Amino acid sequence: MRFKPVPEPPNDLASVGAILEAVPATAGAVDDCCAHLVAETRLEDRSEAETWLVFLRALELVSAESAGYCRLPAARSDESPTLDPTDSGRAFRERVDGAEAVLESLESAGEPLSAAAVADELAADHAASGRENRPARFEVDRVERVRRLLEWAVLLERVERTGDGDRYRPAALE
């Protein structure tokens, strides 16, 4: 299954841990998980909380149960929950819609690319496959989505920003 929601990336993984820590360890522990996240974190509204819950589910850190959301065992600890960039990076690539295409675009480019250049390349691939073009308003959304995917890839150590900060290249994975 691929997950589409991609929240605005935070500045560091500790911020992700703070949001993850607010997700109950047991499904049903709170009546309204979205409201709980808004009350316990920097998230501003239910929509943003829902986006984060679905994204954390894509990273295999949270599960959606019939009683509600809960942290998965790998994300539970006696201390603050942590995010393993290796495992989460793999899940990101495999389970977040568009992440694999963005990463493949960078890998095949041979040079660092901007978010707009990656978005343009993906749009060209989309058009070459015979799919319809979308209205112009989707252009801004497409570039913004690619930027978010790239920034998450940076946090998950799959991509590096170049010195100027405007371009991205694949990270040297060991």
DSSP letters, 39-56, are HHSS--SHHHHHHHHHHH
Two tokens, residue 14 = 């500790």
What's the pLDDT at 124?
84
Q: How far is CA 174 from CA 94, 151, 157, in A?
A: 19, 20, 11
**What's the mean pLDDT in 29-44?**
96
Q: At what angle do helices 85-95 and 46-58 cross, to 10 degrees?
A: 100
Neighbour tally for 172: CB within 10 Å? 7
Global pTM? 0.89
Tell me the C-alpha distance between 52 and 20, whole Å: 9
Which of 169, 148, 173 has the alpha carbon at shortest distance from 10? 148
Beta strands in the chain (DSSP E): 62-65, 68-71, 113-114, 159-161, 167-170
Tell me the C-alpha distance between 105 and 170, whole Å: 10
Q: What is the CA radius of gyration of the chain?
A: 17
Instruction: Provide the residue ranges of all domains of the chain, joining segments of one domain with +.
Output: 13-75, 98-170
Tell me the C-alpha distance between 48 and 158, whole Å: 24
**What's the mean pLDDT in 159-172?**
92
Q: CATH fold of 13-75, please?
A: Arc Repressor Mutant, subunit A (1.10.10)
70-82 residues labelled b (16+ CB within 10 A) or e (exposed) = bbbeebbeeeebb
Same fold? 13-75, 98-170: yes
Chain mean pLDDT for the chain: 88
Q: How confident is the model at residue 174 (pLDDT cuts 50, 70, 90)?
A: very low
What's the first-to-final CA gap in the chain, in angstroms? 27
Two tokens, residue 35 = 């409201």
For residue 101, pLDDT beyond 80:
yes
Q: Going by CATH, does the domain composed of 98-170 fall within 1.10.3470? A: no
For residue 74, pLDDT beyond 70:
no
**What's the mean pLDDT in 14-32?**
93
